[in-house]
Structure 1
Amino acid sequence: MSPRTPLAFSALAAVLLLASCSAPDPTPTPTPPASTSVEPTTAATTAPVDDATPAPSAEPTCKTIITPGTVDALTSQGWTAKQEELRIGETLIEDGLLCMWADFSTASDHGQMYGWGALDARTSDVAQSNLKRDGWLRSTEGDLVYFTEDPAYAIATDDDGFGMTYEFGDGWVKFADTKQGLLLIEWKG
């Protein structure tokens, strides 16, 4: 709570108290004629509720950083997510998470990884510098910066030949096991 909040609350309470203590207006309130219908104003300002869209979460989770359709597709296969901290090399992204989706009931090398994190400019610069040092390939598209693992060492690649990829934006980073997988991450922070 801000130090100003108690002061603002006290001022609001004082205004409401004074308003309730003031003398009533002696002028009678006109009543509408019997033939006039009055529409409630709340009906026009209330938007319909879409029950299919979940309320936004205050914190990113494995089920909210990716599209609902992706969550449905993964869970319909019997996959679940395990959440870990998001790291870019040795750089821990404090406000981030890495989600590993797979069928953990059986030993398998099939799975998907999605990550998202908020980061400041300094942390972004350090992480990008370390990726470049470690041989990741840098590219840009508009204001976005991508670092992709060298395809010669990639375990899996997408249709365009990209394996694990980080996407850096203004104040955030995304990660997926392929560059195309980044399109499924929709968390805005």
Structure 2
Amino acid sequence: MKNRTPVAVLASAVLTLSLAACAPEPEEEPTPSASPSPVASEPAATPTPTPVETEPADDPVVAPTCETMIPASTIEIFEGHGWTYEEREFQIGPDVVEDGLACVWGDYTVASDHVQVFGWAPIGAAESASAQQKLLADGWLRVDEAGHTYITEDPAYSISVDEAGYGMTYEFGDGWVTQADTKQSLVLIIRP
């Protein structure tokens, strides 16, 4: 009988070396260097990030301008009739609301009270409540409709009214107030 042990040992050694060549090399801990050097390797698996709940960033409110407060199509109609606008302070009665803007559109080449008014202002809760009380004390009327609060002038004293009989009207919201020469015109205001 032939001695097969050296052949079996040799085959076993070749097999072990072949398997060792296929096995991944142990990872070495990287050592810090002054400048990174490119290394060709397969991309590492990216771990799935764990969602972290954060508060949304408070974006600053960009105040509207007379060109952005109402739709461009409405501006085109006004300009088609030769109307331009005047910028004014936003007022609730005699009180000026800081950082607000009122835009009065009309034909300023002729004397006329035929104008369209659109206004917007930021307003705090306490200031809003106070302004509403002052208007109501001066005879204005409160209308709560579809979750909105409107303070409108008494139609008996209105220069012009919309189809529903509302004249100059303020709409008070959470942190803002808008104004238009009629309640119906409030829908044209694009709030920031």
TM-score normalised according to structure 2 size:
0.69
How far, CA to CA, are the matches of 2:62 and 2:137 in structure 1? 35
Q: Which residue of 1 aligns with 2:166?
A: 162
Specify the SS of the correspondent of 1:178: coil
Q: Which residue of 2 aligns with 1:41?
A: none
Alignment-mate amino acid for residue 143 of structure 2 = S
Answer with 1 or 2: which has the greater Rg: 2
Query: Quick one: which of 15, 29, 38 aligns to 1:24?
Result: 38
Q: Which residue of 1 aligns with 2:13?
A: none
Unaligned runs of 5+ in 1: 1-17, 30-56
* Contact 1:143-1:169 at 8 Å conserved across structures: no
Q: Which residue of 1 aligns with 2:89?
A: 85
Deviation at 1:19, TM superposition (A): 10
* Contact 1:85-1:92 at 8 Å conserved across structures: yes
How far, CA to CA, are the matches of 1:19 and 1:143 in structure 2? 64
Change (3 A) 1:19 1:62: farther
Alignment-mate amino acid for residue 25 of structure 1 = V
Q: Which residue of 2 aligns with 1:105?
A: 109
5 Å-filtered alignment, 1:91-170, equals: 91-170=95-174
Specify the SS of the correspondent of 1:116: strand
Q: Which residue of 2 aligns with 1:182?
A: 186
Count of aligned pairs between the two proteins: 144
Post-superposition CA distance 1:58-106 (Å, at most 9, x none) = 3311111111111111111111110000010132211211111011112
Specify the SS of the correspondent of 1:128: helix
Alignment-mate amino acid for residue 26 of structure 1 = A
Query: Quick one: which of 60, 63, 82 aligns to 2:64?
Result: 60
Deviation at 1:109, TM superposition (A): 2.0
Alignment-mate amino acid for residue 22 of structure 1 = P
Post-superposition CA distance 1:39-72 (Å, at most 9, x none) = xxxxxxxxxxxxxxxxxx9331111111111111
Mapped pair 1:76 → 2:80: yes
Change (3 A) 1:19 1:167: farther
Identity of aligned residues (%): 47
Alignment-mate amino acid for residue 63 of structure 2 = E
How far, CA to CA, are the matches of 1:121 and 1:19 in structure 2? 58
Q: Which moved more, 1:19-28 or 1:152-161?
A: 19-28
After TM superposition, the runs of 4+ consecutive aligned structure 1 residues lying more than 3 A away are: 26-29
Deviation at 1:28, TM superposition (A): 8.1
